[in-house]
Amino acid sequence: MRLIWNQFLPWLLFAIRLILEVGAEPTGTPQLFDGGWYQDDDLDFKPEDPQSVLEIAAQQNDRSNHQVLLQSCVWDKQITGRALTVAVIFHHTGLIDDILEQVVDMNQEIKIYYPDTVNQYDEEIPGWCEILTPLQAAVKNQLVPIVQWLVKSPQTNIDYLGDGAGRRTALQHAVNNGNMELINFLLDHGADVNSAPSDDGGATALQIAAIQGYLGIARKLLDLDADVNAAPARRNGRTALEGAAEHGRIDMLRLLFDEGASLVGNDGERQYRRAVELAEKNGHIAAANFEIVQGSGGRKWQLKLGNYDDTTTSTVGLSGITFHILSLSLMAQND
């Protein structure tokens, strides 16, 4: 399909110029036809229907037509902003240069729809919708040069989150990918290490690092005063402690306890109970027992997990509490 489109481009460019010469208004909303505008069979997602011809040209990576259209009139910054988001989503760097020469709303959002899929166990995974700004899309797709261009624009809100389930700031996307280059760049340019999570399925940067098991990233965030006890998203959220326990990350639990993860007071006791429940639910017995010992007070303990012959232990000191925990190989036995 892409080859056919490229063969058609010279004729399309001629037609667009002819239509503009006779006074056509280029800024109107395109008329939709059955099946939508985006017909690339190689895509595993579909953007929402375009609101301008600029978005169509941006998706098709049609730089010649795009330049003609940009020069044909003064475009509203929301329209150029949406075209920029589309160009970033499709990694069309040449178009990005052209659009950034215009007045652009740098925080315009595009919805991306992912179809139903089937996983390796033949289980159906329902489709879902994602909403992205240009910067969020560039960071998620790990397009470092584009991220650098966008962040240098004074119009870009580096901490923009937006509404919707599962939304991420640029820094939260970078942490989710484990991309230290982008994490460092965003932090160096003022990204807030404690940006709040979205209400449904969101997470702070540290919560994401804890869930993913990115120990080095978590240490860096904590060194920059990331809140180890930040509240989870209101729906489908996890504290850093809960996320680490749920995924059996014993090294991460140790780090979080060292950095002051709370087990006291209403919030501390609540996250302690949830952490143990989540660990046990997912079969991470070592993580659950680790927390039970840490939360039991200033006594000395030695864990005996299952019927293992390996009794090698290591001594760990956390917040004045000393106890023993079996080697981390036990966690792998339960994953």
- For the chain, the domains span 38-134, 158-301
Half-sphere exposure for 184 (CA within 13 Å, toward CB):
4
Rg (CA), the chain: 25
Q: What is the pLDDT of residue 17?
A: 56
b or e along 253-277 (b: 16 or more beta carbons within 10 Å of the residue's beta carbon)?
Answer: bbbbbebebbbeeeebeebbebbbe
Q: What is the mean pLDDT of residues 294-308?
A: 39
Exposure of 282 by Cβ count < 10 A (0-12 exposed, 13-18 middle, 19+ buried)?
A: middle
Q: What is the mean pLDDT of residues 38-51?
A: 75
The pLDDT of residue 301 is above 80? no
Q: Rounded to 5 degrees, what angle do the CA atoms 232, 201, 107 make?
A: 105
When the candidates are 1.25.40.20, 3.40.718.10, 3.30.870.10, 1.10.3080.10, the CATH number that belongs to 158-301 is 1.25.40.20
Exposure of 329 by Cβ count < 10 A (0-12 exposed, 13-18 middle, 19+ buried)?
A: exposed
List the one residue out of 66, 57, 49 whose CA is nearest residue 5: 57
Q: How many residues does the chain have?
A: 335
Q: What is the pLDDT of residue 286?
A: 67
Detail the DSSP E strand segments found in 59-217: 110-114, 117-118, 124-125, 128-132
Instruction: Report the C-alpha gap between 306 and 289 in whole angstroms.
Output: 11
The pLDDT of residue 300 is above 80? no
The pLDDT of residue 324 is above 80? no
Q: What is the pLDDT of residue 271?
A: 80
**Residue-averaged pLDDT of the chain:** 78
C-beta of residue 118 within 8 angstroms of C-beta of residue 124: yes
Q: What is the pLDDT of residue 211?
A: 96
Instruction: Report the C-alpha gap between 228 and 210 in whole angstroms.
Output: 10
The pLDDT of residue 86 is above 80? yes
Higher pLDDT, 43 or 237: 237
Q: In sequence order, which residues have a C-beta less than 8 Å from that of residue 175 and are 6 or more positions away?
A: 183, 205, 208, 209, 212, 214, 217, 221
Q: In sequence order, which residues have a C-beta less than 8 Å from that of residue 102 and are 6 or more positions away?
A: 70, 75, 77, 80
Which range scores top for mean pLDDT: 179-183, 241-245, 283-287, 318-322? 179-183
Tokens 């075209």, residue located: 83
- Three-state DSSP class for 22? coil
Q: What is the pLDDT of residue 307?
A: 32
The secondary structure of residue 302, as a DSSP letter, is: B
Residue 147 token pair: 């991220």
- Three-state DSSP class for 117? strand
The secondary structure of residue 178, as a DSSP letter, is: T
The pLDDT of residue 299 is above 70? no
C-beta of residue 61 within 8 angstroms of C-beta of residue 92: yes
Q: What is the pLDDT of residue 40?
A: 56
Residue 215 token pair: 């120990």
The secondary structure of residue 210, as a DSSP letter, is: H
List the one residue out of 148, 112, 155 whose CA is nearest residue 130: 112
C-beta of residue 309 within 8 angstroms of C-beta of residue 327: no
Q: What is the CATH number of domain 38-134?
A: 1.25.40
Q: In sequence order, which residues have a C-beta less than 8 Å from that of residue 180 and are 6 or more positions away?
A: 216, 217
Higher pLDDT, 280 or 307: 280
Q: What is the pLDDT of residue 41?
A: 55
Q: What is the pLDDT of residue 291?
A: 60
Residue 156 token pair: 């870009």
Higher pLDDT, 92 or 177: 177
Amino acid at 316: V
Instruction: Report the C-alpha gap between 107 and 239 in whole angstroms.
Output: 28
Give 264's pLDDT tier (boundaries 50, 70, 90): low
Give 312's pLDDT tier (boundaries 50, 70, 90): very low
Please tell me the pTM assigned to this model.
0.77
pLDDT above 70: percentage of residues in the chain: 71
